[in-house]
């Protein structure tokens, strides 16, 4: 499959080395602000980032009867937690997970979201083209953050895709488990839902099953690392004339005060009911 051309004005924002002392909300607040600037000020952006130890819930997860108790359990284990403002369900993050977001302008009245999911899926397929042509697309039963655009190899999911749509821009977000043990992440998600579900019906949350998740390194049985994956992504984008830029060189890039204010706004807007911890 050939990946459709990205906007010629797109730039790459690589924050994969910024792994210390950043709240998990930082990346979501940054993307929210960048999307508000795309078009009038900021160019389209390919945002790449990681976090050392976090658990990101979907909005529906945060409304489960015992979500506050489950959140406390995660915090006690040293996980940074947040509720994201895009679609999808809970996702554990560590340095073996590379998060890739396409921040793109959106036409007024554009309600067709499938093409944006397809664009991200096609990008990942092409990125992995030198290693495998066996990537399947479709919901993987028993996985965490299940969805129509799950990407898997041999029945084990390694990537999920979500979207955040604003009036003039969209953020298409993929989490890609590059290295490490997919089963350990699945077990963490399962532990969260076991504690958060309470009186909820089983259909109200994902039933995470053993054997449903794996890293790319596990799926392909190769010593793939996050650094090598990210370097390959840069190479692929450079072949299209798209290069990395420093934040200071990206028009419309928000300052730290703006990002901090947006983090607080997201914290308040997406707080877990009856919880003062998020």
Q: Which residues are catalytic?
A: 145
Query: Partners of 104 in the beta sheet?
Result: 170
Query: Partners of 56 in the beta sheet?
Result: 82, 91
CA-nearest of 14, 30, 51, 49 to 238 is 14
- Residue carrying structure tokens 């090598």: 228
């Amino acid at each position: 499959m050939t990946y459709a051309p990205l906007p010629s004005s797109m730039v790459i924002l690589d924050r994969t080395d910024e792994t210390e002392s950043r709240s998990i909300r930082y990346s979501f607040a940054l993307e929210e602000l960048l999307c508000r600037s795309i078009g009038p000020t900021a160019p389209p952006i390919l945002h790449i980032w990681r976090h050392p130890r976090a658990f990101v819930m979907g909005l529906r997860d945060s409304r489960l009867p015992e979500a506050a108790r489950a959140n406390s359990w995660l915090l006690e284990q040293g996980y940074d937690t947040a509720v994201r403002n895009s679609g999808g369900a809970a996702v554990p993050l560590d340095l073996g997970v590379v998060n890739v977001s396409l921040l793109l302008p959106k036409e007024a009245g554009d309600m067709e979201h499938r093409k944006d999911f397809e664009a991200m899926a096609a990008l990942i397929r092409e990125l992995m083209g030198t290693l495998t042509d066996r990537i399947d697309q479709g919901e993987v039963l028993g996985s965490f953050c299940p969805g129509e655009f799950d990407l898997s190899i041999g029945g084990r999911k390694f990537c999920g895709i979500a979207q955040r749509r604003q009036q003039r821009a969209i953020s298409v977000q993929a989490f890609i488990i590059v290295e490490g043990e997919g089963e350990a992440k699945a077990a963490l998600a399962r532990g969260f839902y076991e504690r958060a579900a309470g009186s909820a019906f089983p259909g109200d949350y994902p039933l995470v099953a053993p054997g449903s998740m794996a890293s790319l390194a596990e799926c392909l049985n190769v010593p793939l690392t996050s650094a090598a994956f990210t370097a390959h992504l840069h190479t692929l984008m450079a072949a299209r004339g798209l290069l990395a830029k420093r934040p200071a060189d990206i028009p419309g890039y928000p300052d730290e005060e703006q990002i901090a204010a947006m983090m607080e706004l997201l914290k308040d807007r997406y707080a877990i009911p009856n919880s003062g911890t998020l």
